[in-house]
């Protein structure tokens, strides 16, 4: 159980550290968390508004409002689709790209600073261990097919982002005390 406790504390610590840092940066840039997530997705490449809405889990009217706001801030551009003029393709602007890259640099900086507190040998061991964990997590996310089995049909979102959950994992939450939120999140209603 010591391993479980260490892993739980590590994941919770990283989650809260990144959430707090990310939220502070988002507030500083006058963005909502959904707007920041949209920029992150668009940084990977242009998307149709329908695909963006699906990936964010929001409605078509909500994605229209979202892209209106990001467009006014000069963080994205909307263009008509080449093959279907009714389709709207959203791309991130240079300003938006720089913003997302700044978020990533801040995240790396947080971990790099923590690593400097370790000896060089410990730093190498941590990096090696994290590399191994990443490869195992990647395998857990990718569906594994038996040679003789029929391929499964997971949803695109599930196969891309979710790992296999061990039985009873959801029950571990009951043992963790719930604390009140540390920050208020601004929600825009227009």
pLDDT digits (tens, 9 = 90+) for 161-181: 444 444 444 444 444 444 555
Average pLDDT over residues 5-21: 80
Q: What is the pLDDT of residues 57-95, one digit of tens each?
A: 999 899 999 999 999 999 999 988 787 777 889 999 999
Strand-pairing partners, residue 89, are 48, 79
| pLDDT exceeds cutoff 90 at 155 | no
Domains with residue ranges and CATH for the chain: 2-141+152-163+170-175 (1.10.10.10)
Residue 78: left if φ>0, alpha if ψ -120 to 50, beta else—which one? beta
Edge-to-edge order in the sheet of strand 88-92: 47-48, 88-92, 76-80
Instruction: Give pLDDT, residue 144.
Output: 46
């Amino acid at each position: 159980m010591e391993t479980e406790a260490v892993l739980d504390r590590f994941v919770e610590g990283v989650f809260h550290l990144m959430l707090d840092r990310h939220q502070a940066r988002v507030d500083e840039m006058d963005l909502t968390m959904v707007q920041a997530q949209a920029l992150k997705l668009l940084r990977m490449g242009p998307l149709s508004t329908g695909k963006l809405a699906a990936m964010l889990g929001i409605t078509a009217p909500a994605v229209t409002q979202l892209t209106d706001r990001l467009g006014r801030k000069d963080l994205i551009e909307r263009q008509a689709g080449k093959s279907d003029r009714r389709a709207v393709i959203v791309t991130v602007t240079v300003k938006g790209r720089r913003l997302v890259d700044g978020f990533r640099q801040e995240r790396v900086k947080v971990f790099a600073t923590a690593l400097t507190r370790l000896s060089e040998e410990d730093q190498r061991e941590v990096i090696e261990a994290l590399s191994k964990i990443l490869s195992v997590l990647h395998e857990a996310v990718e569906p594994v097919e038996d040679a003789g089995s029929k391929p499964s049909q997971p949803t695109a979102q599930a196969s891309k982002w979710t790992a296999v959950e061990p039985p009873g994992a959801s029950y571990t939450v009951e043992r963790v005390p719930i604390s009140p939120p540390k920050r208020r999140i601004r929600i825009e209603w227009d």
